[in-house]
Amino acid sequence: MSPTTSATPQLEDPAKTAKKTRKRKYKKKANDDTEYTETRKEVDKLRERLGGKKKRGKDDDRAYFTFKNDRVVITSCESHTNIITRALENQVNRCYQIDIRNDTIQTSWRCCLCHLGSAQRELGDLFGPYYMTPSSSPSSSTSPWPTFLCKKPKAENIMDVEVWMHGDCVLWAPDIQLNGNHLTNLNVKLKQFWGQHCAVCSKVGASIPVLGTENVLHFPCAVQKGYKLDEGRLTCEPR
């Protein structure tokens, strides 16, 4: 008669047990993370607002880690990147979109302050068009007018005039600020600048006062002659 044998219980590998425990803890922590949950809700709202497709999988909108050349690389999934890119582009377009009008006087494509064109003297592109309204008062016949941009309209044909300018030129024009897609005080300040001649090139449109004198300069003329620019007061002085 053969002796009876009892079954020996198999012990689970400690390493596998610890791995399962860690995995369970990670899932529980992720599910209970309030910030994580709120973030996923915001992503879903953005996807719905921007017309994105429904989530295909659980981890579609998560970033993941990879190792490349002994360095950790954080990569966002394609759907997440597209949502963020479209949201940013939508916001920028809403803030800076310029309404193109057909009921205005068109001018030559040059800066209404320094007279130079796009990308000249490292000034970059021209921004615009922005619109200013000529004065229709009796004294408007003697008010400054930028003939280098266009001919002065007759009093009975007063229309808004489109103007273009370099970013640096308008940044160094005192009392003009960007508010959304509009420039504040544009009418008043442009008429003032068009009545001021640059001490370097003698052309109108000068906006930067020279400290200690009554002279004013265009931004590119001040840079070309090596003037020291004061960003706080929007003035300049010889070095």
The conformation of residue 4, written as its DSSP 8-state character, comes to P
Q: Could you give all domains of the chain from N- to C-terminal order, each with its CATH number?
A: 19-51+63-96 (no CATH), 120-237 (3.30.40)
Q: Among 209, 236, 204, which Cα is nearest to 223's?
A: 236
pLDDT confidence band for 56 (50 / 70 / 90): very low
Taking 50 as the threshold, does the pLDDT of residue 58 lie above it? no
- How far is Cα 60 from Cα 47, in angstroms, rounded to an integer? 12
Three-state SS for 135? coil
pLDDT confidence band for 38 (50 / 70 / 90): confident
Structure tokens, 55? 């989530």
Return the higher-pLDDT residue of 29 and 200: 200
Three-state SS for 59? coil
- Give the DSSP H or E segment for 164: strand 161-166
pLDDT at 216: 97
Cβ 183 vs Cβ 177: under 8 Å: yes
Structure tokens, 46? 């953005």
Cβ 38 vs Cβ 32: under 8 Å: no
Neighbours of 133 (CB within 10 A): 12
Average pLDDT of span 208-216: 95
Cα separations in angstroms, 93 against 90, 179, 181, 183, 186: 5, 14, 10, 17, 22
- How far is Cα 166 from Cα 174, in angstroms, rounded to an integer? 15
pLDDT confidence band for 55 (50 / 70 / 90): very low
Three-state SS for 10? coil
Return the higher-pLDDT residue of 24 and 128: 128
pLDDT at 42: 73
* pLDDT tens by residue, 138-179: 445 567 788 888 887 776 566 788 899 998 999 999 999 888
- Give the DSSP H or E segment for 189: helix 186-193
